[in-house]
Amino acid sequence: MEHLIDIQSISKQNIEDIIYLAKSFKEGKQESSVKSKTLALMFCENSTRTRCSFEIAGQKLGMNIINFDDAHSSLSKGESLKDTIENLYFIGVNAVVIRHSLSGIINNVLRLVNYPIKFVNGGDGTHAHPSQALLDYYTMLEKMGTVENKKITIVGDVSHSRVAKSNIALLSKFNADIHLCAPTYLQFENFEAFNVKYHNDIKEAIEGANVVMVLRVQNERHEQEGYPESSEYKRLYEIDTDLLKKYADKNVILMHPGPANRNIEVSSELLDNRVGKTILEQAQNGVYVRMAILNTLLKGGNHAS
Amino acid sequence: MLLKNATVINPAENFEGKSDIRIENGIITEFSPNLKSNSNEETIDLEGKIITAGLVDMHCHLREPGFTAKETIKTGISSAIEGGYTAICPMANTNPAVDNVTTLIYTKNQAEQKIGFYPICAVTKGLYGDKLVNVSELIDNGAIAFSDDGKPIENMHLLREAIKYINSHNKVIISHSEDSSLASGGVINEGKISTRLGLKGIPSITESLAIARELEIVKSINGRYHFAHISAKRSIELIRQAKKEGLNVTAETAPHYFSLTEDDMVDYDAKYKVNPPLRTKEDLEAVIEGLKDGTLDAIATDHAPHTVAEKQKPIQNAPMGISGFETALGLTLTNLVHTGKLSLIAALGKLNYNPAKILGIENQGIIKIGAEANLTIIDLNEEWIVNAQNFKSKCRISPFDGFKLKGKVKMTIINGKIYKIGK
């Protein structure tokens, strides 16, 4: 595994190795192989969980961390990402985690950068968020042991969700039964893009579900042309205790990549009760999964000039 | 000068056969088999080669004035000659736009009569879509047609009046058919690839919807109209139906629409970014079908150069357009002729005679005694690898870089002057 750009470009074995390593880190059975390597966190879009999680993961691995944000860097002076990254490499950075609003930005920059810096996608536009999918998978395995033939329903702003896409890519590799639920205006515009089941009706979508993964529904979206108000969404799609109790599997796992809009896509009451705790466990597992990712990419050679 | 032993393909007269051609003072003076060379006459043996009428590109962008980092009229012309073109029709979306006589004359002066140079002028001032240009004075100074290409005309009242008025001067409007509310912010074709990649899509109805609307106008006023860069299956169905109904419309496509699809775009590489976008395999097949049955009359390059730095930007920010002159013939021969989809004479007709006829360009697209010697010499079977680094165009980036093509321009003859290609 050279980089982590999206789930499609890594193998099932890569995923299993990362999960195994993350478990070893969590259990305190694994030492860092990347002490004193340097990690740059280049977050050109707001983030709490992902940035902090990578930062703590790097610290636990004994890495040097550079925090870098576009507003206070030469990127704001119009320097191209390629130039910035090549300079970071020569300054001594071994790997860079990029969060960016443009889908495919790492594919673009990887084509142009001429030096062996490692790339980790921290979420690009509406394309991919592979570390999130890996930590979601890790959490599901902790709870259920396997995802094979489990009904996993992803609900919310599917069309703009890189989390949904990376989860679909990952869960498909392990033969989960994947369902997507959204109103028409938040659904993927092309149903051939992914081999999953599409629903507009929430009851049908979560019927017997083992996992309900709720996606953030951005309020801004509802102010765009052709979209109704967010109250319309809430009325039909908000996940609450009653809905889960009535339709989902009795051991249903509630997940959310965060940040949640309380009482829009998921009820406040549900978030604060026992079922809602899995969401915090996701955040915790994220650190170990990201340690595993960084350790895997950076162990061995790759010394910066 | 005597061109001997070639196979001549002259789509204008549906002629295909061995013939020699004599050129004196830039004019074709004899055109028949077995001509004897006169003493002191330069004789070129073209055994095994094909002579056809010089290629005519009815749709290209030369970027001058205003965007000379992308291309200049001079480099654009060199690139066109390298591609076998003896006549080109640059679009008006420069800065300033070619919406006035001064800019029109400026561009003609820059061209220095090196090639048949037939500018297409803007339909509306500044391409803003609201005020019609001074049509007659532009025609008197050489406008060959009118187009706001790069932007659609959204005001249907204005479009209707413009078609009537421009037609009354025996000229045609070339339509950039696009519904901008549907195209807005789009990067690639809307479909499974755009969804997977997380890129805003441009649905194919962006094109076909505009065509449907414009066809209704053309029908209502019995107008004459031309559709540029057709990419979508449904558009072709609409134009086919309109032609069947007897509407006086013509249409062109570009080589990338029968050579590439959205499936080529999986790595976010902006060198494939073009407007209209590369579409699906089904659309590509419909384009080929449209070329076969004559729904699509012409193949134009839509040569739309940009700097390499611009085309290396993230795909969302990179400009749309492909460097087209130097690969158009090779792609046509490789993907349409050698695959048996089109006969050689039909394919060449879409590159020379048809575009010249649509725009009413004299002395181009035809081989006949008394006409200017504008000819393209082709080796139909020569295989070559596209190397964008060697382009004469300033735009040395291409989705076809590294493609192996079969069929190559060997010489371009403009007004009797020979340009050897690939030297």
DSSP string, B185-245: T--EESSHHHHHHT--EE-THHHHHHHHHHHHHHHHHT-EEEE-S---HHHHHHHHHHHHT
A44 to chain B, closest Cα gap in Å: 14
User: What is the reported pLDDT for A303?
Assistant: 47
Tell me if A190 and B191 make a contact (CB, 8 A cut-off): yes
Give the Cα separation of B27 and B42 in Å (integer). Answer: 15
Do residues A302 and A13 make contact, with C-beta atoms less than 8 angstroms apart?
no
Bridge-based pairing of strands B248-253 and B27-32 is: unpaired
Partners of residue B15 on adjacent β-strands? B10
Average pLDDT value for residue range A234-256: 97
**What is the dihedral sign for C-alpha A199, A203, A208, A210?**
positive
CA angle A275, A264, B194 (to 5 degrees): 100
Do residues B324 and B55 make contact, with C-beta atoms less than 8 angstroms apart?
no
Tell me if A189 and B198 make a contact (CB, 8 A cut-off): no
For residue B65, say if its preceding peptide bond is cis, omega within 30 degrees of 0. Answer: yes
User: What is the reported pLDDT for A301?
Assistant: 59
Residue of A nearest to B311 (CA): A108
Give the Cα separation of A40 and A235 in Å (integer). Answer: 42
User: Which pLDDT tens digit goes with each residue over A166-177?
Assistant: 999 999 999 999
Separation in Å, CA A149 to CA A171, A175, A203: 10, 6, 19
If you search the block for the tokens 């579409």, which residue do you land on? B279
Question: DSSP alpha helices (H): ranges in chain A?
Answer: 12-26, 49-60, 81-91, 105-112, 130-144, 162-173, 202-206, 230-237, 241-247, 268-272, 277-298
Q: Is A162 touching B (CB cutoff 8 A)?
A: yes
Spell out the residues 6+ positions from residue A73 whose beta carbon is closer than 8 angstroms to its own. Answer: A79, A84
For residue B293, count other CB atoms closer than 10 A to its CB: 11
Tell me if A189 and B196 make a contact (CB, 8 A cut-off): no
Residues of B in contact with A124 (CB under 8 A): 198
Residue of B nearest to A225 (CA): B181
Give the Cα separation of B51 and A86 in Å (integer). Answer: 51
From the candidates B196, B266, B307, which should be mutated to test the interface with A, based on the most A CB atoms within 10 A? B196
Average pLDDT value for residue range A79-108: 94
User: Which pLDDT tens digit goes with each residue over B95-149?
Assistant: 999 999 999 999 999 999 999 999 999 999 999 999 999 999 999 999 999 999 9
Give the Cα separation of A285 and A21 in Å (integer). Answer: 12
Alpha-carbon Rg for chain B in angstroms:
20
User: What is the reported pLDDT for A92?
Assistant: 96
Residues of B in contact with A107 (CB under 8 A): 267-269
Comparing CA positions, the residue from A109, A117, A118, A105 lying closest to residue A162 is: A105
On the question of pLDDT at A231 being above 60, the answer is yes
For residue B209, count other CB atoms closer than 10 A to its CB: 19
User: What is the reported pLDDT for A134?
Assistant: 98
User: Using 50, 70 and 90 to split pLDDT, how confident is the model at A230?
Assistant: confident
Q: Amino acid identity of A29? A: K
Interface of A with B in 93-122 (CB under 8 A): 102-105, 107-108, 111-112
Do residues A99 and A44 make contact, with C-beta atoms less than 8 angstroms apart?
yes
Q: Is A189 touching B (CB cutoff 8 A)?
A: yes
* Number of residues assigned to chain A: 305
Q: Among partner residues B191, B192, B197, which is closest to A104 by beta-carbon distance?
A: B197
Separation in Å, CA B190 to CA A300, B148, B186, B202: 42, 24, 8, 5
User: What is the reported pLDDT for A302?
Assistant: 46
Q: Among partner residues B191, B197, B313, which is closest to A103 by beta-carbon distance?
A: B197
B199 to chain A, closest Cα gap in Å: 7
Tell me if B190 and A190 make a contact (CB, 8 A cut-off): yes
Give the Cα separation of B308 and A296 in Å (integer). Answer: 35
User: What is the reported pLDDT for B288?
Assistant: 98
Q: Amino acid identity of A265? A: E
Give the Cα separation of A61 and A55 in Å (integer). Answer: 10
The per-residue pLDDT of chain A, averaged, comes to: 93
Reported as type and span, the H/E element at residue B309 is helix B308-311
Q: Look at residue B3 and give its three-state secondary structure.
A: strand
B273 to chain A, closest Cα gap in Å: 13
Do residues A288 and A26 make contact, with C-beta atoms less than 8 angstroms apart?
yes
A159 to chain B, closest Cα gap in Å: 8
B227 to chain A, closest Cα gap in Å: 28
CA A174 to mean position of chain CA atoms = 17
What residues of B are in the A interface, CB distance below 8 Å?
Answer: 190-199, 201, 267-270, 312-317
Spell out the residues 6+ positions from residue B101 whose beta carbon is closer than 8 angstroms to its own. Answer: B134, B137, B138, B141
Residues of A in contact with B311 (CB under 8 A): none
Residue of B nearest to A112 (CA): B312
Q: Look at residue B297 and give its three-state secondary structure.
A: coil
User: What is the reported pLDDT for B314?
Assistant: 95
CA A47 to mean position of chain CA atoms = 12
A201, exposed or middle or buried, with CB in 10 Å at 0-12, 13-18, 19+? Answer: exposed
User: Which pLDDT tens digit goes with each residue over A31-63?
Assistant: 999 999 999 999 998 888 999 999 999 999 999
Residues of B in contact with A80 (CB under 8 A): 313
On the question of pLDDT at A119 being above 90, the answer is yes
Do residues A132 and A51 make contact, with C-beta atoms less than 8 angstroms apart?
no
Separation in Å, CA B60 to CA B153, B155, B308, B321, B338: 19, 24, 18, 10, 26
On the question of pLDDT at A100 being above 50, the answer is yes
B180 to chain A, closest Cα gap in Å: 14
Give the Cα separation of B36 and B46 in Å (integer). Answer: 15
Give the Cα separation of A4 and A118 in Å (integer). Answer: 8
Tell me if B269 and A102 make a contact (CB, 8 A cut-off): no
Comparing CA positions, the residue from A209, A217, A50 lying closest to residue A140 is: A209
Residue of B nearest to A163 (CA): B198
Each of the 423 residues of chain B gets a pLDDT tens digit; together they read: 999 999 999 999 999 999 999 999 999 999 999 999 988 899 999 999 999 999 999 999 999 999 999 999 999 999 999 999 999 999 999 999 999 999 999 999 999 999 999 999 999 999 999 999 999 999 999 999 999 999 999 999 999 999 999 999 999 999 999 999 999 999 999 999 999 999 999 999 999 999 999 999 999 999 999 999 999 999 999 999 999 999 999 999 999 999 999 999 999 999 999 999 999 999 999 999 999 999 999 999 999 999 999 999 999 999 999 999 999 999 999 999 999 999 999 999 999 999 999 999 999 999 999 999 999 999 999 999 999 999 999 999 999 999 999 999 999 999 999 999 986
Buried b (16+ CB within 10 A) or exposed e, B241-278: ebbeeebebbbbbbbbbbbbbbeebeebbbbbbbbbbb
Reported as type and span, the H/E element at residue A250 is none
Comparing CA positions, the residue from A170, A160, A179, A188 lying closest to residue A132 is: A170
Residues of A in contact with B199 (CB under 8 A): 103-104
Do residues B314 and B322 make contact, with C-beta atoms less than 8 angstroms apart?
no
Catalytic (active-site) positions of B: 302
Separation in Å, CA A303 to CA A9, A86, A113, A299: 24, 14, 16, 10
Say if pTM beats, i.e. exceeds, 0.90: yes
Structure tokens that stand for B19 in this block: 């013939």
Structure tokens that stand for B203 in this block: 């649905």
Give the Cα separation of B193 and B318 in Å (integer). Answer: 18
- Under DSSP, the state recorded for A109 is H
Q: What is the interface pTM, i.e. ipTM, of the complex?
A: 0.92
User: What is the reported pLDDT for B50?
Assistant: 98
Structure tokens that stand for A171 in this block: 């869960």
On the question of pLDDT at A22 being above 50, the answer is yes
Tell me how many residue pairs between chain A and chain B have CB atoms under 8 A apart.
Answer: 63
Do residues A87 and A75 make contact, with C-beta atoms less than 8 angstroms apart?
no
From the candidates A6, A111, A190, A198, which should be mutated to test the interface with B, based on the most B CB atoms within 10 A? A190
Do residues A103 and A161 make contact, with C-beta atoms less than 8 angstroms apart?
no
User: Using 50, 70 and 90 to split pLDDT, how confident is the model at A76?
Assistant: low
Partners of residue B30 on adjacent β-strands? B22
User: Using 50, 70 and 90 to split pLDDT, how confident is the model at A221?
Assistant: low
